Amino acid sequence: MNIYLDAYFDCNYGDDIFIKGITALFPMHRFYTILEHYPDRIIRWADEIPNLFLLPEKKLFMDKRFFDAYVCVGGDIFPDGGDFEKRKSYIRSVKANNGKVFFVGFSLFHEYGTKTKEDFQNMMKDADIIAPRDEESAAILRTILPDKEIVSMADLALSTEYFGESPKKERKNILGISVREPGNVSEEVLKNYILSINSAAAEYLKKDETNRVRLFGLSDGINSDRDIIAQITSEIEDGKRVEEVIYQGNIKDTVSLIEECELVIGTRFHAILTCIAKQIPFIPVSYEVKTDHLLKEISYDGTVYAFDDCAGLPDTVKEFTKGDLYGCDSESVRKYRDKSEPVLAGMKKLLDEVSGETVIKENPEGNEDVLELIYGADGATEVRRRKAEIDDLSAKNAECHRLIEEANEAQAAKFKEIEELNTKNAEYFALIEELNAKNAEFFKLIEDLNLQNAQLISQIEQLNIALEEEKMKNPAYRIKKKLESKSSKNE
């Protein structure tokens, strides 16, 4: 099955979860996307997904009815006034091939112009499944497409391995702050937002000298969070206790770093969703209606700040104690999460039923004719060269992992030896302490004996003096002493 994947490739935490999530949910099918003019780092990241293949931008794929299905997934994939012509052409090609069309996991704004509503009607009139990620968006879409069956599902991230049930991670003394700079706010609003974030960070750092702040930039593409993080960091006094985390395609590591926080201020949508999934206390800062829609879906009853009015953030952080501010009803979260099951089951059923003819049914990497057809002679050579490089790097990585494991095992053995030596040292130190204690007793006894000897010698001297005085009282003894003295002189 050849599926065209229409998603947002731009080093964005939430969208990357969608891409890896949808391909992992349907591992038996092949997904394709066009990233011909994208940065190398985006292409390398996409290359690592086993069942996702990158194609050049050629009309050939529509003319030859290459795709059996079209899947459009993302958050803000339907801006008012957007250009949807390419999207329409892929949908027409898939439908001409008796294929299936799916729009899943997206959000809508409240207001759309006439042209955009017409685009929705043209794109979605033949769609097989339309499932936005909240009921508010579904209700808006039903007014535009009253004849279509439209259901709501949960955000697709909740159906992925990243947000599955897992043991609670130990929370550290870290305030996580996910920031964002919306493109539609004034300089004054942005300035006040940064001031509120800085003040909240300062309040948390003041609470305890072991407290730290972790700033998350969950997008590093066209709409990068780097600049706003730099502005915030430059204005925090105790910068040594502030850590910057810029997302670079490493989803699992990012989830793990968020899980370590005892409290998160979440501006980006998927920072909030991570907290909901992992039951981390959070304070949401809403910059678009999609955040409000999500919080309504899970019956959130905690504190919410608007992006243009979050001056109270420092006070909320100051009042926080462990266990506070989660604000989510677990049953409502479960019900929201479960809304995706029938949608994904319906997608699987329809994908398995597709019977349209396609250009190829084999894996394109194993079909030289297809490589030539798609990429041309030079392009096919480049594809094979890149695949060889990837295979070589994979082999080297495997060897590196093997060497690391061996080194870890050797290190573990050394640590065990060190622990045994430390145990013996501890025994020796205990014995030395006992001997020192006994020596101290002996030295004390010797000091006591020396003192007694000194006293006895003094008494003997006094007795000798007294005896000499008694003898001198005897006349005969005095005469003897005089004679002895004269004899001594004569000599």
pLDDT in tens, 113-136: 999 999 999 999 999 999 999 999
Contact 184, 79 (CB under 8 A): no
C-alpha torsion 364→368→374→377, nearest 10 = 150
Note the pLDDT of residue 62.
Answer: 74
CATH fit for domain 181-330, picks 2.40.30, 3.30.1380, 3.40.50, 3.30.720: 3.40.50
pLDDT of 349 over the 90 cut: yes
Q: What is the DSSP string of 340-404?
A: HHHHHHHHHHHHHH-----S--S-GGG-HHHHHHHHHHHHHHHHHHHHHHHHHHHHHHHHHHHHH
pLDDT of 345 over the 70 cut: yes
Domain boundaries, the chain: 2-153+339-361, 181-330
pLDDT of 92 over the 60 cut: yes
Q: What is the pLDDT of residues 183-218, one digit of tens each?
A: 889 999 999 999 999 999 999 999 999 999 999 999
pLDDT of 394 over the 90 cut: no
pLDDT grade for 369, boundaries at 50, 70 and 90: low
Residue keyed to tokens 């060497």? 403
Note the pLDDT of residue 332.
Answer: 94
Q: Measure the CA–CA gap between 156 and 364, rounded to whole angstroms.
A: 28
pLDDT of 137 over the 80 cut: yes
CATH architecture of 2-153+339-361: 3-Layer(aba) Sandwich (3.40)
- CA 309 to the chain's CA centroid: 27
- Report percent pLDDT > 70 for the chain: 94
Residue keyed to tokens 């066009």? 34
Which of 184-193, 207-216, 239-248, 368-377 is predicted with the least confidence, judged by mean pLDDT?
368-377
Q: Measure the CA–CA gap between 307 and 214, rounded to whole angstroms.
A: 20
pLDDT of 442 over the 70 cut: yes
Q: What is the mean pLDDT of residues 308-334?
A: 90
Which of 282-286, 363-367, 459-463 is predicted with the least confidence, judged by mean pLDDT?
363-367
pLDDT of 489 over the 60 cut: yes
pLDDT grade for 140, boundaries at 50, 70 and 90: very high
β-strand 129-131 against 2-6: which pairing, if any? unpaired
- Residues whose CB falls within 8 Å of the CB of residue 122, separated by 6 or more in sequence, listed in order: 84, 88
pLDDT grade for 374, boundaries at 50, 70 and 90: low
Contact 39, 13 (CB under 8 A): no
- Report percent pLDDT > 90 for the chain: 58
Same fold, 2-153+339-361 and 181-330: yes
Residue keyed to tokens 């004034």? 186
Looking from the CA of 246 toward its CB, the CA atoms found within 13 Å total: 10
Note the pLDDT of residue 373.
Answer: 60
Note the pLDDT of residue 91.
Answer: 93
pLDDT grade for 360, boundaries at 50, 70 and 90: very low
Which of 242-246, 361-365, 447-451, 481-485 is predicted with the least confidence, judged by mean pLDDT?
361-365
- CA 64 to the chain's CA centroid: 43
Higher pLDDT pick, 322 / 246: 246
Q: What is the mean pLDDT of residues 151-158?
A: 97
Tell me the pTM.
Answer: 0.74
Note the pLDDT of residue 372.
Answer: 65
Query: Can you read off the two tokens belonging to residue 128?
Result: 């097989």
Higher pLDDT pick, 353 / 189: 189
pLDDT of 14 over the 50 cut: yes
- CA 358 to the chain's CA centroid: 40
Q: What is the pLDDT of residues 419-432, one digit of tens each?
A: 888 888 888 888 89
Q: What is the pLDDT of residues 450-484, one digit of tens each?
A: 889 889 888 888 888 888 888 788 888 778 777 87
pLDDT of 404 over the 90 cut: no
Q: How many CB atoms lie within 10 A of CB 139?
A: 13
Vertex 224: Cα angle to 232 and 130 (nearest 5)? 125
